[in-house]
């Protein structure tokens, strides 16, 4: 049934939760934030799968301990298109309706992006369109920015370029290093991503 649809008596039907596959490559702290937010009874999404291109990604252990299905497929010696197709199959088989990229350090093939267009989000540690790609925090510090932050955006074929759904600004401290700024921006990321994903799927 359509999520949130009303029946003829005007009562709200039990909400069908969106099913989210999260792709990670590392620590998975944003994945964890999305996971813990999904424990709220009124959260409009649940985790269907946590998948990675790195079997050693720490986040896989966190997800598995929480009873979430996990999958890892190293990309080494695989065509990008082939690796993406393997990920796509698992995501579909897990019943996912949406994909959330959370520190997934792979450039995605156009075919994969097209399959999930409008249903795939990413979090990026800068105030886009500033500082696409890597080294965002050092770039912000080098530029003398007083305000850094993070963005959640829809994923399109261009790297870190899709429509921005929401951002959180984070003040840069005079003695910030890339590391201290990154750690503080992460707090903002962990608040922003669950809220924006929930709003988006609802
Ligand atoms: C985050 O800073 C995210 O914005 C970026 O990659 C990092 C992933 O960190 N895309 P984590 O694995 O969620 O801790």
If you ran DSSP here, which 8-state letter would residue 76 be given? T
Asked whether the predicted pLDDT for residue 194 surpasses 50, the reply is yes
Task: For residue 55, count other CB atoms closer than 10 A to its CB.
Answer: 11
pLDDT of res. 14? 64
pLDDT of res. 186? 98
Q: Whose CA is closest to atom 5 on ligand 1?
A: 103
Q: Edge-to-edge, what's the strand order for the sheet holding 147-154? A: 70-72, 45-52, 18-24, 98-101, 120-124, 147-154, 164-171
Task: Confirm whether 124 is a catalytic residue.
Answer: yes
Residues for the chain: how many in total? 202
Per-residue pLDDT tens for 108-155? 999 999 999 999 999 999 999 999 999 999 999 999 999 999 999 999
Q: Whose CA is closest to atom 6 on ligand 1?
A: 103
Residues contacting ligand 1 via CB (< 6 Å): 24, 26-30, 102-103, 123-125, 150, 189
Question: Rounded distance, CA 148 to CA 168, Å?
Answer: 9
pLDDT of res. 173? 98
Question: Rounded distance, CA 46 to CA 29, Å?
Answer: 16
Which run of H or of E encompasses 122? strand 120-124
Average pLDDT (181-194) is: 98
Catalytic residue chosen out of the listed positions 83, 88, 98, 124: 124
Task: For residue 65, count other CB atoms closer than 10 A to its CB.
Answer: 9
């Amino acid at each position: 049934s359509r999520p949130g649809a009303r029946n003829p008596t005007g009562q709200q039907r039990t909400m069908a939760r969106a099913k989210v596959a999260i792709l990670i490559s590392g620590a998975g702290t944003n994945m964890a934030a999305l996971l813990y937010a999904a424990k709220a009874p009124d959260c409009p999404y649940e985790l269907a799968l946590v998948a990675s291109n790195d079997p050693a990604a720490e986040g896989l252990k966190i997800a598995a301990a929480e009873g979430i299905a996990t999958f890892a497929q190293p990309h080494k010696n695989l065509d990008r298109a082939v690796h993406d197709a393997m990920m796509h199959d698992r995501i579909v088989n897990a019943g996912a309706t949406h994909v959330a990229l959370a520190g997934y350090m792979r450039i995605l093939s156009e075919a994969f992006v097209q399959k999930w267009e409008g249903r795939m989000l990413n979090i990026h540690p800068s105030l886009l369109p500033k500082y696409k790609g890597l080294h965002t925090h050092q770039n912000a510090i080098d530029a003398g920015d007083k305000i850094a932050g993070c963005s959640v955006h829809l994923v399109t074929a261009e790297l870190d370029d899709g429509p921005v759904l929401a951002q959180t600004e984070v003040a840069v401290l005079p003695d910030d290093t890339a590391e201290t700024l990154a750690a503080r921006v992460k707090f903002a990321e962990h608040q922003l991503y669950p809220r924006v994903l929930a709003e988006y799927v609802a």
